[in-house]
């Protein structure tokens, strides 16, 4: 029979699985929850339960939302002819805070990474192509982190989109190599969106 783990130690181990959460931070947070009022802790547990039970992928853009289509896709003020492609749902809010974009989004849920066995089939590339084929899209913006995996993903998408009569753009090199869109300030992102670089043009 397996030994039952101490609940405090178990919580610390689970918290350390959160990206960027080290042992010291996880331990400090676990002690906070242990001392916090029961209502606060139970409220957090209920929020996590609902997160897993109620959140889903938007049928249009593949963003994570509690309804489908999501709020952005359902907004009649957004321009559906311009699609901004991001690797992760967490990259949408920083771009929105920039106030420089009024189109819609498409979330890939990752980047190509042969080392981690992540190929095109594991990403939401097929739904992106279906959106482009089914609607009058005029521009696709590639807003993907300029890491090695991100650059590989953008090159792959550029090749897929080059003969589809689209204007394909990406954020300029002013966004430093290896930087993360999630942690880039809104002014820098706004400028990057306004100064986006064209990598292929609409067929004439």
User: Can you give 103-143 as a three-state secondary structure string?
Assistant: EEEEECCCCCEHHHCECHHHCCHHHHHHHHHHCCCCEEEEC
Residue 5: count of CB within 10 angstroms of its CB: 10
Share of the chain above pLDDT 70, in %: 93
Let me know if residue 2 belongs to a domain. no
pTM, two decimals, is: 0.82
Do 174 and 191 contact (CB within 8 A), yes or no? yes
- Looking at the structure, do residues 18 and 98 belong to the same domain, yes or no? no
| Mean local confidence (pLDDT), 125-145 | 93
Return mean pLDDT, the chain.
90
Please say whether the beta carbons of 33 and 41 come within 8 A.
yes
Q: How many domains does the chain have?
A: 2
Window from 12-16, 21-25, 188-192 with minimum mean pLDDT: 188-192
Asked whether residue 143 falls in the same domain as residue 157, the answer is yes
Nearest Cα residue to 44 out of 67, 11, 89, 92: 11
Q: Are residues 86 and 148 in the same domain?
A: yes
Greater model confidence, 154 or 189? 154
Do both 46 and 64 map to the same domain? Answer: no
CATH number at residue 14: 1.10.8.420
Quick check: 156 pLDDT over 70? yes
Host domain of residue 182: 57-200
What is residue 173's three-state secondary structure? coil
Task: Compute the average pLDDT of residues 93-99.
Answer: 92
* Same domain, yes or no: 87 and 180: yes
Residue 1 falls inside a structural domain: no
Q: pLDDT by residue (tens digit) across 165-183?
A: 899 999 886 555 445 787 7
Task: Kindly state whether residues 96 and 138 are assigned to the same domain.
Answer: yes
Q: How confident is the model at residue 41 (pLDDT cuts 50, 70, 90)?
A: very high
Q: How many Å apart are CA 159 and CA 153, to the nearest integer?
A: 10
Do 38 and 139 reside in the same domain of the chain? no
Same domain, 139 and 188: yes
Same domain, 180 and 91: yes
pLDDT at 175: 56
Judgement on whether residues 88 and 29 belong to the same structural domain of the protein: no
CATH of the domain at 143: 3.40.1360.10
Domain co-membership, 130 together with 110: yes
- Per-residue pLDDT, averaged over 76-97, amounts to 95
């Amino acid at each position: 029979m397996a030994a039952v783990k101490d609940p405090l130690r178990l919580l610390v181990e689970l918290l350390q699985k959160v990206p960027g959460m080290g042992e010291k931070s996880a331990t400090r947070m676990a002690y906070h929850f242990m001392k916090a009022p029961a209502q606060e802790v139970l409220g957090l547990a209920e929020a996590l339960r609902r997160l897993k039970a109620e959140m889903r992928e938007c049928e249009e853009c593949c963003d994570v939302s509690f309804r489908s289509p999501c709020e952005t896709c359902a907004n009649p003020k957004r321009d559906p002819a311009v699609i901004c492609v991001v690797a992760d749902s967490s990259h949408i809010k920083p771009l929105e805070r920039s106030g420089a974009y009024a189109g819609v989004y498409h979330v890939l849920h990752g980047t190509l990474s042969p080392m981690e066995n992540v190929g095109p089939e594991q990403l939401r590339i097929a739904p992106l192509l279906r959106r482009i084929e089914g609607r009058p899209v005029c521009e696709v913006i590639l807003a993907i982190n300029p890491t090695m995996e991100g650059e590989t993903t953008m090159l792959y998408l550029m090749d897929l989109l080059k003969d589809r009569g689209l204007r394909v753009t990406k954020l300029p090199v002013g966004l430093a190599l290896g930087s993360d869109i999630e942690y880039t300030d809104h002014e820098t992102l706004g400028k990057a969106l306004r100064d986006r670089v064209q990598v292929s043009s609409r067929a004439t």
